[in-house]
Chains A and B, each alone.
Chain A
Amino acid sequence: MKKEALDDLSQVIPGDRMFLDLAERYCYSYDASFGEYLPEIVVQPKNAEEISEVVKLANTHKIPVYPRGSGTSLSGGPLPVKGGMVLDMTLLRDKLIIDRENMLAIVSPGVITANIHKKAEEAGLFYPPDPSSSNVATIGGNLLENSSGPKGLKYGTTKEYVIGLEVVTPTGEIIRTGGKTVKNVTGYDLTRLIVGSEGTLGIVTEAIIRLIPKPLSKQTFVAHFNHLIDSGHAITSILSSGILPSALELMDNACIRAVESYRPSGLPLQAEAILIIEIDGHPLAIEEEINKCADICRTEGASYVKIAETEEERQTIWSARKLVSPAITQMGPTKISEDATVPRNQIPAMMEKLNNIREKYGLNLVVFGHAGDGNLHPNIITDKRNITEMKKVELAVSEIFEAAIELGGTLSGEHGIGTLKSPYMEMELGITGVNMMKKIKEAWDPNNILNPGKIFPDKGQTKVVLVT
């Protein structure tokens, strides 16, 4: 980093929140995805004004800026791929106001998402988006990656809940978008544009998020299927029966086997799929609905159905799902976690395509995910030191995305595009579609300062490169 740039920066940020030493820079060189890029400097701002000044300086000195929350991104969102400056946003965590009358939360971007869940519930309210990283991830990161978790099926994704933002633009101005009203049709909807922009269009410094009344109770059941196709039919039958579960999760046979060999708990090894279904709402309503869903599963050929009668039984059902991650990482040290998403009637077809990809490349590929909204998580477990296998993984990943797009789906349901999926953007959006997005980026960020190297592929890049 040039001396003048550093001198200017020291005028804005005190030395104890600015790191140039190798150890600290290495600590911000990764996220939960794949890849490692060493930044030149790490800065921990404390408020919007500091960020505004830093971004203005970055424009003057042409330094790339990479905003970062807790670094739980699975798509490479905060990776400093072009060097430059990582902006660690975790110190902006002062504000978490629950406004009961307006059913809103006003939050700083560095607040941990689970704390919003907790505070909202204490007020009898509910913030539904719940990525599995919610105990760690910051709300700012969640908003910019538009990550949602299993409740998207009934409650929609993160973008449905953000109604107002304070943002530092890529040129360093501080603007406000939206506001505190649920209805707002004034001008372009910049809030929606920024949410899910993966930090390429602005740095969120405050967010106003909508809350809803907390459901009174919930019930859960598990169903085992000997044939994957039957579980697919069960999903579509439930969803067309007029019942909307709050979660509908699927584990495939490879997942079941992995969990069972990791911690034997009586899961059916012969089953091709397990569905976990949760319903929330008024106790009287869900009593009837859960029985109806269980009946549908039986009719569609489930070999075993169990409705949890106690909280302990409920936890036991969910523990199988929660053990998936630890179980599959026993198969190898590198985990490539995708979130290709298809229309839900295409889930059986997608599962079949994934099966073919597994056979074709001979990879450890397991599938689980939020089946109710078509958001599947094919995970490939490998070892990045095994170059031959990694080359196969690259091909398999390409085919997974192709399969999703062919079936009318999308590259990403909740992880974002980041570095890993940018080569496939044209496949989903077409050249013109991608160019339209690029024009927006260029208009907002003429110097390409904010999170460069994300969403859009480098010239000539047509597939993901995991090893060189």
Chain B
Amino acid sequence: MNLPVKPNETNTAVQNLYSDAYDWTNQCVKCGYCLPACPTYESMGVESASPRGRINLVKMAAEGKIDFQKDLAEPIDLCLGCRACETACPVGVPYGHILEAAKEAVENSPSANQKNKMTKIKKLALVHLFPYPKRMNRIGSAVHLYQKTGLSKLIRTSNVLQKVSPALAHLEQALPAIESSSKRIRTGTIMPAKGETKLKVAFFAGCIMDSMMSRINRLTIELLNIAGCEVILPENQNCCGALHSHQGETKQAKALAKRNIQAFMQSDSDVIVNNAGGCGASLIEYGHLLADDHEWAGAAKDFSEKSKDISQILYQLGPLPFTEEWQGIVSYQDSCHLRNVQKVQKEPRLLLQSIPGVSYVEMEGFDRCCASGGIYNLLHFDESMKILDEKMKNLKETKATTIVTVNPGCQMQMSIGIQREGAANQMKSMHLVEILAKACGLD
């Protein structure tokens, strides 16, 4: 019988993985309870696309039995990171941590040659774009211009993007209409509560949210204001680092986290609110990310404890002052990171049900990842679409005309799904904040 032994290798990637993740992989009792929860196991049908399989492969890599690039990289890369397996696991294996340790080890393994290193697009975005709010804003403005000038129409009718990359073409069409930068709220601004101040809130604007979806950010702040929050948008905040962690760029994720902690801890607020499931999950895990850093561990823990999703705060302070009736059936697609990591499930649903006129229908498989997965839908387009198409079948059965999400990635993915179904005339995807703001007459 083969027994695990401490790898006797000089390979530092093996040793790092052994010291970071080996004990976690050993917690897995291989019961398989995670299998039915995993969307990629369902769509791909092989054990290497299941959480149990991936955990075991990480363990094999940490024992030096398999090669990081040849054997581990692909199964790990094909994971959506939705972490539904964590909620199904009877023994609490920290899959998310194992996944991130594995990604880091794959990225830094000596066998990683140039070809296998982060692709150029990924590197460009992660290292030179997301961390810099000004650059992100410039892109936002550029896209705004692109949409306003009619170039977008030209590109769409010419079908040129489809020929370059179907993934990019889908994404281009799913992009929301971007507001001009003049409407964007500047950092450092304090926006007082309407009426009595019940709570002092610092708002986490995010990188993609801030540049591409600044309208949702603006509406979030207005909603918080009418719910009784004084909102401050702290200066010098930046990208949460989730995408970096997910791609194995832990060092950069830590640097971003520290800058955020510094920015928010200076603002005197009761809570830190965000409106994107993925970012929120990253924020509540700063405590874990910096647990070994003596200088930052305490502040990181405090920061994480203060971080809340917008739905939690609006529900806590509600009911909202609705002014308009909503027409039609509404359904809700959970954001995996909101549901599985932040464990927020009931608040978005209760808020939706509280809108006058809403007929709320739960979709079969609402807890199943939509396969947006950060930038998974760009990196693994075909696999992502397979999972999305299954979801759209379930969504159609609800007869919903509005599908609501609480994460920009999910929202765009659902828009892609609606386009693929050719259902853009009957159905639309909205962020929770948008539908609530509309019903409160803010839009």
Contact = CB atoms under 8 A, between A and B. Distances in A.
Where chain A touches its partner, the secondary structure class is loop
Contacts of A26: 56-57, 60, 65-66, 71
B328 interface: no
B3 interface: yes
Where chain B touches its partner, the secondary structure class is loop
Contact of B35 (A30, A31, A34, A136): A136
A36 B30 CA distance: 11
A467 B1 CA distance: 7
Given A30-B56, A333-B26, A333-B27, A133 B47 contact: no
A35 interface: yes
B306 to A, nearest CB: 25
B357 interface: no
B27 A136 contact: no
A224 interface: no
A259 to B, nearest CB: 13
Contact of A136 (B36, B47, B48, B92): B36
Nearest to B67: A22
A441 to B, nearest CB: 24
Contacts of A34: 1
Contacts of A137: 32
Interface in A6-45: 19, 21-24, 26-32, 34-36, 44
Interface residues of A, number: 41
A318 to B, nearest CB: 14
B33 A136 contact: yes
Interface string B51-87: 0110011001000011100111011000000000000
B90 A24 contact: no
Contact of B71 (A21, A36, A133): A21
B164 interface: no
Max chain B Cβ within 10 angstroms of own Cβ: one of A19, A21, A329, A383: A329
B75 A326 contact: no
Contacts of B52: 71
A29 B52 CA distance: 12
B188 interface: no
Contacts, number: 96
B57 A23 contact: yes
Interface string B263-286: 000000000000000000000000
B121 interface: no
A467 B3 CA distance: 8
B269 to A, nearest CB: 32
26 contacts: A22-B70, A23-B74, A24-B46, A24-B47, A26-B66, A27-B48, A27-B53, A27-B57, A32-B29, A32-B31, A36-B1, A70-B35, A71-B32, A88-B46, A135-B33, A135-B36, A136-B31, A322-B90, A325-B31, A329-B91, A333-B23, A335-B29, A385-B3, A385-B4, A465-B1, A467-B1
Interface of B: 1-4, 23, 26-27, 29-33, 35-36, 45-48, 50, 52-53, 56-57, 60, 65-67, 70-72, 74-75, 90-92
Given A23-B57, A27-B56, A133-B32, 11 more contacts: A23-B70, A27-B48, A27-B57, A136-B36, A137-B32, A325-B29, A325-B31, A325-B90, A329-B29, A335-B29, A385-B4
The 6 closest A-B pairs by CB, nearest first: A27-B47, A23-B71, A333-B26, A27-B53, A329-B91, A27-B48
